[in-house]
Amino acid sequence: MNASIRWLASALCAGLCSTAHATPYIPKDGAAVIEQLPHRADATQTELRRLRTQLNAQPQDLALATSLAQRYIGLSRSETDPRYLGYAQAALAPWWQSAAAPVPVRLLRATILQSTHQFNAALQDLDAVIAQQPGNAQAWLTRATVLTVQGNYAAASASCARLSSLAAQLVTVTCLANVAGVNGRSEKSEQLLDLTLQRSAGVAPEMENWALTLLAEMATRRGDAAVAERRYRQALAQQPRDSYLLGAWSDFLLDQQRPQEVIALLKSEQRIDALLLRYALALQAVPGQQAALARATTELAARFNAAMQRGDTVHQREQARFALLLQHDAPQALQLAQKNWAVQKEVADMRIVLEAALAARDFAAAQPVLDWISTNKVQDVALQALAARLAARKAT
């Protein structure tokens, strides 16, 4: 998913979360590393253990449960660690299956559900929250994000518009720009967002980072690399370890044929699957990195295989890129990309379908995405180039 839920919802995930009832993964041998736990002496972990102990003694304490769940969700984003979403769900266990859960639980449950791509279930909770609390800005923003990812742009814009009387102007404008960027209204939305950000002194760092990242992506999509780079660097200066931003910046650098910079950027960020993927792609583009590339590729294959054994299909976009660009298996990449496209419809989802279809010479597979791009007037220079290549190949 994209970055558009960072501020009010404070729950962006990298999309590497397993489902709650997936088949357990059984390692092949006792030496396999299952997970690396946070350091027990860490102050945050000490505080979380204290709260968890309190909650174990009082599992029906709604305020304590929701406070702890929110802390875990925040950590899942900042650390890009899906285990924290499981801990958050466990904190909400007394109400998790309830069809009439309290509003705070529904809002947190919706955040967790959208993070695992259970979008329709998340929308049910969000609609229930809004029915009880029409002024809940977090619910409207989360709803807009989910609908944008699903490609329901009209409904997403309507949800963004409801924020105008509930949140700061920059929140509303950024929410609307996030939709407009993939719905044929990118140029004017980018100008308005840029102006609004300049006039929004003293906004929360997370809010400014969200807007800057989106502006960088919008400039990238219209082919203005210089402006995009300036905006990416501004955002990185504020939040240099934001995993979504690192991934977007790395993709920009890879497209600009600057893999050495990606290697330096991500050398210590390999714990995160999506960033390890970019690191491996950069290694592949640099001569003399065969040994490091082999290690990274082997590690990625193990992680993706483990996810498949768990029944985790959330990160199919990344797996499709891995299959296409590192394993050079175009048919497998196309199959994964199509499954991902059925669930979410962001620009990156469109791109991997077209790239895989081009490599597999399966022009029929590309047509639904090409039709979507045309119908919704999606503006992106990389997509336009791929469409042109597909048309040329099809003509030969």
Q: For domain 1-18+39-146, is the CATH number 1.25.40? A: yes
Whether residue 74 contacts residue 10, with contact meaning beta carbons closer than 8 Å, is answered with yes
Give long-range contacts, CB 8 A cutoff, 24+ apart: 250-253: 250/275, 250/278, 250/279, 250/282, 251/278, 251/348, 252/216, 252/220, 252/225, 252/228, 253/282
Residues 171 and 7: their CA atoms lie apart, in Å, by: 8
- Give the burial string for 44-55 (b: 16+ CB within 10 Å, else e): eeeebeebbeeb
Residues 353 and 66: their CA atoms lie apart, in Å, by: 39
pLDDT digits (tens, 9 = 90+) for 15-26: 223 223 333 333
Listed by start position, the domains of the chain span: 1-18+39-146, 315-396
Whether residue 82 contacts residue 272, with contact meaning beta carbons closer than 8 Å, is answered with no
Q: How many angstroms separate the most distant Cα atoms in the chain?
A: 70
pLDDT at 34: 38
Nearest-CA neighbor of 366 among 395, 337, 345, 346? 337
pLDDT at 25: 36
Q: Is 92 helix (H, G, I), strand (E, B) or coil?
A: coil
Whether residue 120 contacts residue 101, with contact meaning beta carbons closer than 8 Å, is answered with no
Q: Is the dihedral of CA 59, 23, 307, 314 positive or negative?
A: negative
pLDDT at 82: 75
pLDDT at 169: 94
Residues 58 and 124: their CA atoms lie apart, in Å, by: 28
pLDDT at 116: 86
DSSP 311: T
What φ, ψ does residue 288 adopt, rounded to 5°?
80, 10
User: How do the pLDDT tens digits run along the chain, 396 residues long?
Assistant: 544 444 344 433 322 232 233 333 333 443 444 344 454 457 888 999 999 999 999 999 999 999 999 999 988 877 767 788 999 999 999 999 999 999 999 999 999 999 888 999 999 999 999 999 999 999 999 999 999 999 999 999 999 999 999 999 999 999 999 999 888 788 999 999 999 999 998 888 889 999 999 999 999 999 999 999 999 999 999 999 888 999 999 999 999 999 999 999 999 999 889 999 999 999 999 999 999 999 999 999 999 999 888 887 788 999 999 999 999 999 999 999 999 999 999 999 999 999 999 999 999 999 999 999 999 999 999 999 999 999 999 888
Q: Is the dihedral of CA 305, 307, 313, 316 positive or negative?
A: negative
CB within 8 A of 139, min separation 6: which ones? Answer: 107, 110, 126, 129, 130, 133
pTM summary value: 0.87
